[in-house]
Chains A and B, each alone.
Chain A
Amino acid sequence: MTVGIQFCGGCNPRIDRGQIALELQKALVDMGFDVVFNSPDADFMVFLSGCLSGCAFKYNPKDPPYVTVAAATVDGAEVPAKRIVPEVLMKVRKYYERLETEIRKEDHERRDGAETG
């Protein structure tokens, strides 16, 4: 799975976007994901904005799945700055697990269908 990290322009950052992106990139690669920056060609997007204006998402809207970071909030909920990376990783992991479950379920259904047919 490819995870995209989309930055805002960074005119009013309340968080260290660069550091957060680096930590996310490292952890996501360790988890086996590919990471791309400022590209919509991804299976899951992380919109990383420095302030609550949320320009990363505002100027590059995309259908889910995604997670938004805007200042010290993740998907609109306030979190301590040091919890931003773990919260985002948790959301990516949850999405991936859901995806895996769905794929597994579809495989089973296909197999069951083939057996009954």
Chain B
Amino acid sequence: MPLKTPEQYEESLRKMNFKVYLMGEEVKNVVDHPIIRPSMNSVKMTYTLAQDPQHAELMTATSSLTGKKINRFCHLHQSPEDLVKKVKMQRLMGQKTAACFQRCVGMDAINAMDSTTFEMDKKLGTEYHKRFRSFLLKMQEEDWTVDGAMTDVKGDRGLTPGKQADPDLFCRIVERREDGIVVRGCKAHQTGAVNSHWVLVMPTLTMSKEDADFALSFVAPADAEGIFYILGRQSCDTRKLEGGQFDMGNKEFGGHEAMMIFDNLFVPWENVFMCGEYEFSGALVERFAGYHRQSYGGCKVGVGDVLIGAAALAADYNGANKASHVKDKLIEMMHLNETLYACGIACSAEGHKTASGNYLIDLLLANVCKQNVTRFPYEIARLAEDIAGGLMVTMPSEKDLRNPVTGKYIEKYLQGIPSVPTEHRMRILRLIENITLGTAAVGYRTESMHGAGSPQAQRIMISRQGNLEQKKALAKKIAGIPA
């Protein structure tokens, strides 16, 4: 069953036994919880679109392992063309959900794991690549959503993992047994964790010899005994509990993040892909981060498409669409959005083959892409708020619109151009609010800043990859300075 239907995906989650806490209570029904459900719908869309002939070209791929048609989210990229299609798929998904659809982290993790484990086996004589490929075969066959888990909570940022007051602040091996390892620690910001079938854990940074016990990678069922989740809050999240139609801005789709806690989790050896080989931790982190920085050149652009459309509609509904400054702001938003896309496409087109056979993006361009993503969505959001006007944050609730006493006054006084119902104007303003400072702002703004690494992480990579010495040599030659 290499392609699950959306219904089969939802059903498969219902069969899982997640341990999840949200707002101080254990969640008994994760799939139908009104705060979590929209995020499940976003992941479900990755299954829906894969069934649609109009999107199959992007949403599916031919497995390099089996030759079967699989979901692209389970695919090892086999060419620069595959890398380009990945970005286009992510833009499409962003357009269809206006939210974080969560499944990219797993795709980026498997692609980073494939080349890294291959190189580990070649150098160290280990069997991690074989184990990983065996897992990947099952992932493709079952069309699993896999959550890539990298970011440790990190405690005192001035100290290395082994020097922390509490060693569990970085995920670590607490016991090596004959049949496997025992793991303790916490991964933060885990996007889509409770919409996933499995988790793929990676080290959070380059480890040294002293910190070899933190150089750790493995997979585990997302509902394994020894894993539990504490879901993060999102701005305006409880609007989902109010039961209306549009105050949440995006009723159908959303994202979620969670603390993923390993409380003495047992992992059998067959699911362990790195266990102390600290010298490969840097390559794994760099590759995963690179793929994920490429991803943002697609997903954020898709959400940006929706936000730009919403801002343009707000201008239409306000009767301001002919004002030259409004037109100019919309042009600027499109320029910024397409610049992000251009970076995503560029780092993909310049991708190269790894020793294991899959393709890796151009790391310099992927980091430039993400560095722009830490800035441009903020400017796009600022311009959207500018065009929307202050009513976006001052207008009454949907319940007031439905109230027989207040509703008629809201209809009368919050009308824009007469041909558009007041409710439509309110709906589009709520959508802008949702993306710029509501639940979706988690994905569109702060995740743009810190997701896939904070801005300084990209600047370090740009510094490493920027080939400054060659630039100096060029300048010397032109200026007539001897080499």
Contact = CB atoms under 8 A, between A and B. Distances in A.
B55 interface: yes
Contacts of B57: 7-10, 38, 55-56, 59-60
A11 B54 contact: no
B44 interface: no
Nearest to B298: A11
B434 interface: no
A9 B55 CA distance: 4
Interface in B281-326: 302
Given A11-B95, A17-B54, A59 B81 contact: yes
B187 interface: no
B89 interface: yes
Contacts of A10: 54-55, 57-58, 92
A10 B95 CA distance: 11
Contacts of B56: 7, 9, 38
Nearest to A9: B58
Contacts of A17: 54
A11 B53 contact: no
Interface string A78-114: 0000000000000000000000000000000000000
A17 B56 CA distance: 13
A19 to B, nearest CB: 11
A25 to B, nearest CB: 11
Chain B interface secondary structure, helix, strand, loop or mixed?
helix
B75 interface: no
Interface in B51-100: 53-59, 81, 85, 88-89, 91-92, 95
A28 to B, nearest CB: 16
A55 B95 CA distance: 18
A7 B53 contact: yes
Contacts of B89: 9, 11
A12 B56 CA distance: 14
Interface string A1-26: 00000011111100001100100000
Contacts of B88: 9, 11-12, 55
B91 A38 contact: no
B40 to A, nearest CB: 23
A18 B88 CA distance: 18
Contacts of A11: 58, 88-89, 91-92, 95, 302
Nearest to A38: B53
A10 B54 CA distance: 7
A38 B57 CA distance: 9
A59 B302 CA distance: 22
Contacts of A38: 53, 56-57
Interface string B89-126: 10110010000000000000000000000000000000
Given A9-B85, A9-B89, A11-B88, A18 B54 contact: yes
A9 B57 CA distance: 5
Interface string A47-64: 000000001100110000
B86 to A, nearest CB: 11
A60 B62 CA distance: 13
Choose among A9, A10, A11, A56 the residue with the greatest number of B CB atoms under 10 Å from its CB: A11
Interface in B16-67: 53-59
Nearest to B95: A11
A9 B53 contact: no
Contacts of A59: 57, 81, 85
A102 to B, nearest CB: 32
A38 B59 CA distance: 13
Nearest to B82: A59
A60 B89 CA distance: 17
A96 to B, nearest CB: 24
A56 B53 CA distance: 12
Contacts of A37: 53
Nearest to A50: B54
Choose among A7, A8, A10 the residue with the greatest number of B CB atoms under 10 Å from its CB: A10
A72 to B, nearest CB: 18
Contacts of B53: 7, 37-38
A71 B78 CA distance: 28
Contacts of A60: 57
Contacts of B302: 11
B296 to A, nearest CB: 15
B1 to A, nearest CB: 20
A21 to B, nearest CB: 8
B235 to A, nearest CB: 29
Contacts of B85: 9, 59
Given A38-B56, A55-B57, A56-B57, A9 B81 contact: no
A54 to B, nearest CB: 12
A108 to B, nearest CB: 41
Nearest to B91: A11
A21 B55 CA distance: 13
A55 to B, nearest CB: 6
A38 B92 CA distance: 19
A55 B87 CA distance: 14
Given A17-B54, A55-B57, A59-B57, 12 more contacts: A7-B54, A9-B57, A9-B88, A10-B57, A10-B58, A11-B88, A11-B91, A11-B92, A11-B95, A12-B91, A38-B53, A59-B85
5 contacts: A9-B88, A10-B57, A12-B88, A18-B54, A38-B56
Shortest Cβ-Cβ A-B pairs, 9 listed: A9-B58, A9-B57, A11-B88, A11-B92, A37-B53, A11-B91, A7-B54, A10-B55, A38-B53
